[in-house]
């Protein structure tokens, strides 16, 4: 494996690290994104570890800082954060196309990185795969029941069950479901479904992983399929609920679990 520092973009303001496997790289290359404002190494260096794990399986990857984050300078372009993030990711793909003759890309990110990955996947046909940890999540009535059941138990649960049933019956789907998710803006359930269906129709391979830190928003196997029952893409997306992984992939065991999961999924892209 070889790792090469890069400076790229029309303004030469983006900084990243290209990881190359020892042999001929696979046709698709990974682009690894910032998680929130964390430097391109990722929380607990998970992007570094993922890049090296992918290289061991024959995949090239570029981990880089978006404009104004980590080592990358602020762009002079005007636009909101999401627009700039999409422009930066497309610049990364442009650079790899020119220098490494790569034309298919897999975008991987955590939290806001997952959101940015979904946005660029929708905007750029070169994206063939999307891997998201703790991306957008849409609760179902069962999600609320599981949350209550875990918080309460035995006699307490029996005593408050009538109130819980009223709450579940009154539950509505939509952006309001996500109010507890740190103020993070979510597309409506309908807009999300429309985007995911378009990706599925285009043949984009999607892996959505939800950690144990998502308890209020995602907390049981099969929730994704329940939330989008009746939509064709729901059965095409690989979803994993991993309660032993936390949002920033802190324990070494959780890191190993995530690397193995992503590596296993990546092998189908070759």
Walk along the chain (270 residues) and give the pLDDT tens digit of each residue: 999 999 999 999 999 999 999 999 999 999 999 999 999 999 999 999 999 999 999 999 999 999 999 999 999 987 789 999 999 999 999 999 999 999 999 999 999 999 999 999 999 999 999 999 999 999 999 998 888 777 766 555 555 556 555 665 555 444 344 333 556 788 999 999 999 999 999 999 999 999 999 999 999 999 999 999 999 999 999 999 999 999 999 999 999 999 999 999 999 886
CA distances to 30, 33, 42, 121, 215 from 85, rounded to whole Å, are 16, 10, 16, 12, 28
Residue linked to tokens 């429309």? 194
Q: Strand order in 205-211's β-sheet?
A: 2-8, 14-20, 61-64, 28-32, 104-110, 127-133, 205-211, 238-242
Strands 2-8 and 14-20: antiparallel
In the chain, the domains with their CATH numbers are: 2-137+185-269 (3.40.50.1820), 139-172 (no CATH)
Task: Decide: 197 and 233 in contact? Cβ < 8 Å.
Answer: yes
pLDDT (0 to 100) of residue 129: 98
Identify the DSSP state of 136.
-
How many beta carbons lie within 10 A of that of residue 17, not counting itself? Answer: 20
**DSSP code for 74:** P
């Amino acid at each position: 494996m070889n790792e090469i520092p890069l400076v790229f973009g029309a303004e030469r303001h983006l900084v990243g690290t290209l990881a190359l496997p020892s042999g001929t790289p696979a046709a698709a290359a990974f682009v690894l994104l910032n998680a929130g404002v964390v430097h391109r190494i990722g929380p607990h260096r998970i992007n570094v570890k993922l890049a090296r794990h992918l290289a061991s399986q024959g995949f090239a990857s570029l981990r880089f800082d978006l404009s104004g984050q980590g080592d990358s300078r602020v762009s002079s372009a005007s636009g909101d954060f999401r627009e700039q993030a999409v422009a930066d990711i497309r610049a990364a793909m442009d650079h790899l196309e020119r220098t490494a003759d790569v034309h298919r890309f897999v975008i991987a990110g955590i939290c806001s990185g997952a959101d940015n990955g979904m946005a660029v996947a929708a905007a750029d046909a070169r994206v063939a795969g999307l891997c998201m940890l703790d991306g957008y999540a849409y609760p179902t009535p069962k999600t609320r029941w599981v949350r209550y059941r875990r918080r309460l138990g035995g006699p307490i649960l029996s005593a408050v069950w009538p109130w819980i049933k009223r709450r579940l019956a009154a539950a509505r789907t939509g952006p309001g479901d996500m109010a507890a998710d740190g103020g993070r803006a979510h597309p409506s359930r309908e807009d999300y479904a429309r985007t995911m269906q378009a990706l599925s129709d285009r043949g984009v391979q999607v892996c959505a992983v939800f950690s144990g830190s998502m308890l209020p928003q995602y907390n049981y196997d099969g929730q994704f399929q329940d939330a989008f029952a009746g939509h064709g893409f729901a059965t095409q997306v690989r979803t994993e609920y991993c309660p032993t992984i936390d949002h920033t992939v802190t324990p070494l065991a959780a890191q190993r679990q995530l690397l193995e999961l992503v590596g296993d999924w990546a092998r189908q892209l070759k």
